[in-house]
Structure formats: C-alpha cells, structure tokens
Amino acid sequence: MSTSFRDPGGHVALLLGRVFRFVNDAARDDFIEFTQSKTAQRLIDSGQLISTRILEPECADRAKSFSGLDGSAPFSLVAEHDRVPFQSFPYEWPAEMLFAAGELTLDHVIPRSRAGESAWENLVACCHPCNNRKGSRTPEEAGFKLARAPRPFSLHTSRHLMRLLAKSDDQWRKYLFY
C-alpha cells in the first residue's frame, strides 16, 4: 500500500475490516495538531470529515505487524479512521433504468406542444422509457415527480452535450445553447 502524492506523510491500509493510517515522522506533529483542532471537530460534527483516533503504542504495534509494511519504515504514529458506511438505494435504480441512463434524453417539463420553451428552466434529463411514458403531458399529469428543479447546465455539461449530441444527431442542435 503506497502513499499518495497528496499524502506524502504516510500509508493507508485496510486491515481486518478496519482503516488505519500510518503516519511518518515528518508528518506526525501536523497530523496530531489537525486531528485535535477545532476545525477538524467542526468538520466531523457536520459530517464532512470522518472521525479519527490516534492509537496507543501497543495497538499501533499490532496494526503495524498485520500491515506487512517494512518494520524499518519510519512510522511513528498509527491512527484508525471510522469506516464510511456503505449506502445502497436498490430500489432507486432498477436494472432497466441503469441501462437506460446510459442514453438520457432532454425532456421539456412543459411540453413544446403546450408552448413550453427550449430553455434551461424547462429542460431536465430523462431516460427514454420515462420520456416516452410522459409524452405530451406535464410531470404531474403523468404521475411523475421531478427529482430536482431544472437548473442551468454547468459550462462543462454544456460543452460535453454540444460535442457529443450535436455531432451525432442534427435534431438536437435546436435544443442546445451555443
């Protein structure tokens, strides 16, 4: 388990279902200072950072022995991170939707047949089956609820859409913003 270029101060290892960070001598003081800071505690309390405990020397030695790391490596501190729980939403994306998600369409919230505009305030991403089921109705009429309100495309998304969709299908050009 090698160190990351963003974390030159140590190694991270998953051992017996637990996540350990082996911190080298050069990063030891900074690591301790940060983990004990009010900033770290505020981030943990808000759910933006996982909790970390610095291990006692005997626990650290046991973790080092399980890690398979070279005993001569200069790790002067071992910490254990809480694991981020696996979250799954099995009913949110059934298999047929996952396949269809690879070919999303742009759908008009208020259909063009009802004077709906081709503007970002009226466009959402939609899979083919749902787009066909909705037809020329509003989402409410079709029994759909929008996952989120329409919003402008990011610059990245706009460029990606223009490159991919406009090249492959001339019909898309009137819906894209150049």
pLDDT digits (tens, 9 = 90+) for 95-153: 665 565 567 788 899 999 999 998 888 988 887 788 888 999 999 999 888 888 888 77
Q: Phi and psi dihedrals of 40, rounded to 5? A: -60, -45
Residue 3 confidence (pLDDT) above 50: no
pLDDT classification of 65: cutoffs 50, 70, 90 = low
Listed ranges 27-41, 52-66, 93-107, 148-162; the one with the highest mean pLDDT: 27-41
Length of the chain: 178
Domain ranges of the chain: 10-81, 95-175
Range in 21-35, 68-82, 112-126 the model is least confident about: 68-82
pTM of the model: 0.43
More confident residue, 152 or 170: 152
